[in-house]
Amino acid sequence: MRKRIVALCGFVMVFLVPVAAQPPAAQAVPTVTAIRAGRLLDPEGGRVLTNQVLLVEGNKFREIGSNVAIPPNAQVIDLSTMTVLPGLVDAHNHLALTYKPEPESNIYYFTYLMDSTALRAIQAASNGIQMLAAGFTIVRDMGNNGNYADTALRQAIEQGWIPGPTIINSGIIIGGMGGQFFPTPEMAKEHNIVYPEYLDADTPDEIVKAVRQNVLFGARVIKICVDCKPYGYTADEIRLFIREAAKVGMKVEGHVQTVNGAKNAIEAGIWSIAHSGGLNDEMHKLMAQKRIWRAGTDTPEGLAGHPVSPQAYQRTVASLKNAYDNKVPLTFSTDADYFVAGKTRGELCLEFLKTWKDAKIPNADILRALTLGGFMVSETEKTRGPIKAGYFADLIAVPGNPLDDVDALKNVQFVMKDGQVFKKDGIMTPAAFFHAGPVNGWRIR
Ligand SMILES: [Zn+2]
pLDDT bucket at 1, cuts 50 / 70 / 90:
very low
Pairing state of beta strands 136-141 and 88-93? parallel
* Residue-level pLDDT at 29: 56
| 365-404 pLDDT per residue, tens | 999 999 999 999 999 999 999 999 999 999 999 999 999 9
> DSSP 3-state assignment of 26?
helix
Query: What one-letter code names the amino acid at 221?
Result: V
* Cα of 341 from ligand 1 centre, angstroms: 20
How far apart are the C-alpha atoms of 6 and 110, rounded to whole Å? 38
User: Could you tell me which of 241, 198, 199 has the C-alpha nearest to residue 221?
Assistant: 241
* Cα of 336 from ligand 1 centre, angstroms: 7
User: Could you tell me which of 354, 389, 350 has the C-alpha nearest to residue 370?
Assistant: 350
Query: What one-letter code names the amino acid at 83?
Result: T
Give the rounded percent of residues in the chain with a pLDDT score beyond 90. 84
* Cα of 102 from ligand 1 centre, angstroms: 21
* Cα of 91 from ligand 1 centre, angstroms: 10
> DSSP 3-state assignment of 65?
strand
Quick one: which H or E segment has residue 304? Answer: none
* Cα of 413 from ligand 1 centre, angstroms: 28
| 325-335 pLDDT per residue, tens | 999 999 999 99
pLDDT bucket at 443, cuts 50 / 70 / 90:
confident
* Residue-level pLDDT at 23: 44
* Cα of 404 from ligand 1 centre, angstroms: 31
Q: How far is CA 192 from CA 174, 196, 206, 287, in A?
A: 19, 11, 19, 41
| 134-165 pLDDT per residue, tens | 999 999 999 999 999 999 999 999 999 999 99
Q: Which residues on adjacent β-strands are paired with residue 83?
A: 39, 398
* Cα of 114 from ligand 1 centre, angstroms: 20
How far apart are the C-alpha atoms of 377 and 251, rounded to whole Å? 9
Task: Please determine, for residue 130, whether its predicted confidence score (pLDDT) is greater than 90.
Answer: yes
Pairing state of beta strands 173-175 and 198-200? parallel
> DSSP 3-state assignment of 42?
strand
Q: How far is CA 124 from CA 110, 146, 149, 174, 419, in A?
A: 18, 11, 7, 21, 23
* Cα of 189 from ligand 1 centre, angstroms: 25
Task: Please determine, for residue 358, whether its predicted confidence score (pLDDT) is greater than 60.
Answer: yes
| 201-246 pLDDT per residue, tens | 999 999 999 999 999 999 999 999 999 999 999 999 999 999 999 9
Query: What one-letter code names the amino acid at 407?
Result: D
Per-residue pLDDT averaged across 52-59, rounded?
97
User: Could you tell me which of 239, 240, 237, 221 has the C-alpha nearest to residue 229?
Assistant: 237
* Residue-level pLDDT at 17: 39
Task: Please determine, for residue 19, whether its predicted confidence score (pLDDT) is greater than 70.
Answer: no
Q: How far is CA 119 from CA 130, 140, 342, in A?
A: 17, 20, 21
* Residue-level pLDDT at 388: 98
Per-residue pLDDT averaged across 416-435, rounded?
97
* Cα of 222 from ligand 1 centre, angstroms: 13
The rounded mean pLDDT for the chain is: 93
* Cα of 159 from ligand 1 centre, angstroms: 26
- Give this prediction's pTM: 0.93
Q: How far is CA 353 from CA 56, 369, 374, 424, in A?
A: 30, 11, 15, 23
* Cα of 85 from ligand 1 centre, angstroms: 27
* Cα of 335 from ligand 1 centre, angstroms: 4
* Cα of 94 from ligand 1 centre, angstroms: 7
* Cα of 242 from ligand 1 centre, angstroms: 20
Residues 6+ apart with CB under 8 A from 318: 359
CA 180 to chain centre: 21
* Cα of 393 from ligand 1 centre, angstroms: 29
Q: How far is CA 59 from CA 145, 275, 393, in A?
A: 29, 35, 6
* Residue-level pLDDT at 30: 64
pLDDT bucket at 445, cuts 50 / 70 / 90:
confident
